[in-house]
Amino acid sequence: MIFEVFRQEKKGQAFAHAGSIEAPDAAFADAWAREQYGRRGESAALWLVPRDAVHQVNDWADEFDLKYRRVDGYSIKGRLKEARERASSTAPVDR
């Protein structure tokens, strides 16, 4: 069985995919993952997810070229600069 390993570096942080582990069952995965992903105190917690339990989505349809729904293609660099300048010129002044 392959387990995908997600690692939380510090309490409260999001879990991030760290790798995978092959084990005969969840108990072995637990024992082995502790040693591989936790022995140096590098993890606050681990999630071990059987690979079969992962529902993957990787097919995307964009038949009608609905580019206008995306933000790429709009150049905002110049407008951002303008906005910044405006913001600094109208900043509250100490009196």
Partner 1 sequence: MNERAQLLLSIADDELIIGWRDSEWTGIAPTLEEDVAFSSIAQNEIGHARALYELAATELGSDADALAFDRAPEEYRCAQLVELHLLEWAHTIARRYLYEEADRVRLGALKESADSELAGVAAKIDREEVYHRMHAELWAARLRDESRFREAVEELWPYALGVLPQELRPELARRTGLSVDSTQAIERGTHTPELAELWQEMTEVRRSIPGAQW
Binding site for partner 1 (CB under 8 A): 21-24, 27-28, 30-32, 34-36, 39
> Does the CA dihedral 57-59-60-61 come out positive or negative?
negative
Choice between 27 and 61, CB closer to partner 1: 27
- C-alpha to C-alpha distance for 83 and 81, rounded to whole angstroms: 5
Question: In the bound complex, what is the minimum distance in angstroms from residue 29's beta carbon to partner 1?
Answer: 8
Choice between 22 and 82, CB closer to partner 1: 22
Residue 94 dihedral angles phi and psi, to the nearest 5° = -65, 135
Question: In the bound complex, what is the minimum distance in angstroms from residue 32's beta carbon to partner 1?
Answer: 4
- C-alpha to C-alpha distance for 80 and 86, rounded to whole angstroms: 10
Question: In the bound complex, what is the minimum distance in angstroms from residue 31's beta carbon to partner 1?
Answer: 5
* Sequence-ordered list of residues with C-beta below 8 angstroms from that of 70, at least 6 positions apart, any chain: none
Choice between 27 and 66, CB closer to partner 1: 27
Question: In the bound complex, what is the minimum distance in angstroms from residue 48's beta carbon to partner 1?
Answer: 12
